[in-house]
Amino acid sequence: MLNTETPSTRHPDLDTYATPALLDAFIDDQTAAVAAVKAALPQLAAAVDAALPRIRAGGRLLYAGAGTSGRLGVLDSVELHPTFSWPRERAVAVIAGGEGAMFVAVEGAEDDRAQGAADLAALNPGPNDVALLLAASGGTPYVLGAIEAARAAGALTIGFANNPGAPVTAQAEIGITLDTGPEVISGSTRLKAGTSQKIALNTFSSALMVKLNKVYGNLMVDLKATNAKLVKRALALTVRASGASEADAQAALAQCDHHVKTALVMLKRGVDAAQARALLDAADGSVSRALSA
């Protein structure tokens, strides 16, 4: 029996717990998710380093999964645009059962290997693309089909699974095992198995974005200011990173469509928006290098 399906021996009387003890059991069990990702750090690092040159060459991040894993892939792909101004067309996710499966479980869709291959192939993967294949069990047919299609196209394949020796990690070029063990509620991989996948995806994609110069220091300076909250955040980040007054920061942001990177270079180098953009382009988007050029 798979680790993720094996009944936990820690809480055999879970259904009798008082509310505080019940909640404590769930929360305490989640700590295993962090430990599992930490244990996979060497493989995650290898994945980032292998993905980076492909993404720099114009490749895309392609996600494929089923159920909770599929939804986590969609979530990671969607959040890269507002957080890092990552082009939507360069982070694309497919999920077993189609877009509707984000909201309503499509039973049996995960068992269709041919559909997984077809859905991934429909994205027209190429050698610069990076496919992230997610399956808690590690043997989901839909995901295995997606791996086949991605590898056939020459894309880098990175497999995430929560059981050691899983086909998903074995068949991908880089396998990342997040060994979270039995769940508090037996077999419910939306619990710590899902949490570990969320952490791993956050870690992978955020590290990649840092390497792609989307961050200055530890500040999120390449966000898309698409709503009032983000406009305020852009202003606060600009003031903090530049040391300028709020009024000067606001004036700079107004001249560059609230792009924090550009505003920072404008303020710290004393140049206009066009010159700041040119400096950033010459520095491959790195604020640090644009400021020292």
Positions annotated as catalytic residues are 79, 110
Q: 156-161 and 91-95 as β-strands: parallel, antiparallel, unpaired? A: unpaired
CB 66 within 8 A of CB 109: yes
Count of alpha carbons within 13 angstroms of residue 280, beta-carbon side: 26
Rounded Cα distance, 80 and 209, in Å: 9
Rounded Cα distance, 213 and 218, in Å: 11
Give whole-number Cα distances, 236 to 21, 27, 219, in Å.
Answer: 41, 34, 11
Backbone angles phi, psi at 134, to 5 degrees: -120, 130
CB 200 within 8 A of CB 24: no
Rounded Cα distance, 72 and 162, in Å: 14
- 14 contacts: CB under 8 Å, gap ≥ 6: 22, 25, 184, 185
Q: What is the DSSP string of 216-281?
A: ETTEE-S----SHHHHHHHHHHHHHHH---HHHHHHHHHHTTT-HHHHHHHHHHT--HHHHHHHHH
Rounded Cα distance, 71 and 82, in Å: 18
Give whole-number Cα distances, 136 to 41, 104, 161, 165, 185, in Å.
Answer: 18, 19, 5, 12, 15
- Which of 52, 208, 71, 206 shows the shortest CA–CA distance to 135? 71
